[in-house]
């Protein structure tokens, strides 16, 4: 007799997560991954003005850099708000027992 922990030949071990993910849970995981990468994207975007030329004919005015930083800041707030709305709608759908119909 083989021990119960041992995987059957050609099959998954007992207690292994299923290989197929529901579309809803797959989308949730991808959106959570995107939300986790948002601060890294923001930091990279905030560093862009440091690479702009500051001397010579190709110099970028400081006012343009400040406008860029403000727009990145506003965009990050907007993206975080969208993630928040998605998470809130998931919570409401889970409480109501609904699923995404896609």
Give tens-digit pLDDT for 1-39: 555 555 555 566 677 666 666 766 777 788 888 889 999
Domain-located, residue 56: no
Domain-located, residue 85: yes
* Count: domains in the chain: 1
**CA R_g for the chain:** 23
Domain-located, residue 76: yes
Domain-located, residue 12: no
- Which residue range(s) make up the domain with 82? 23-51+61-91
Taking the C-alpha atoms of residue 73 and residue 89, their distance in angstroms, rounded to an integer, is 25
The 10s digit of each residue's pLDDT in 42-66 is 999 999 999 998 888 888 899 999 9
In this structure, is the dihedral angle defined by the CA atoms of residues 42, 44, 50 and 51, taken in order, positive or negative?
negative
Domain-located, residue 39: yes
Taking the C-alpha atoms of residue 82 and residue 66, their distance in angstroms, rounded to an integer, is 24
Domain-located, residue 1: no
Domain-located, residue 32: yes
Domain-located, residue 11: no
């Amino acid at each position: 007799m083989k021990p119960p922990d041992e995987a059957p030949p050609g099959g998954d071990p007992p207690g292994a997560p299923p290989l197929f993910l529901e579309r809803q849970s797959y989308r949730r995981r991808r959106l959570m991954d995107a939300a986790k990468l948002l601060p890294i994207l923001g930091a990279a975007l905030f560093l862009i003005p440091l690479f702009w030329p500051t001397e010579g004919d190709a110099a970028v005015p400081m006012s343009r850099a400040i406008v860029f930083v403000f727009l990145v800041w506003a965009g990050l707030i907007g993206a975080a708000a969208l993630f928040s709305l998605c998470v809130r709608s998931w919570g409401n759908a889970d409480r109501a027992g609904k699923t995404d119909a896609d």
